[in-house]
Amino acid sequence: MKFDINEMTPEEKLQAMEMLWEDFCRRSPNFQSPRWHADVLESREKRLREGKERAVDWEQAKKEIKESLQ
C-alpha cells in the first residue's frame, strides 16, 4: 500500500503517524531512545514542576492539533 503524502488531509496524516507508532512499538519493544529525548523530557518535567507548563491529556492534545490544522 502506497500513499501520496501530498494528497493526504491533516487528519489522515495524524492517523498514519499513530498507525506507524503503534506498529513500531509492537515490532521494536527493545528500542532505546536517544539521550536527547531524555534531556527534553527532563526539561519539560522541570517546567511542569515549576508551573511553567501545563499537562494536556493526549486525546485533548490530538484534538487541539487537528483544530489548529483546519
Asked if residue 2 has pLDDT above 80, the reply is no
33 pLDDT band, cuts 50/70/90, is: confident
- For 28-37, what is the mean pLDDT? 89
- For 35-58, what is the mean pLDDT? 93
SS (H, E, C) 5-70: HHHCCHHHHHHHHHHHHHHHHHHCCCCCCCHHHHHHHHHHHHHHHCCCCCCCCHHHHHHHHHHHCC
Asked if residue 3 has pLDDT above 80, the reply is no
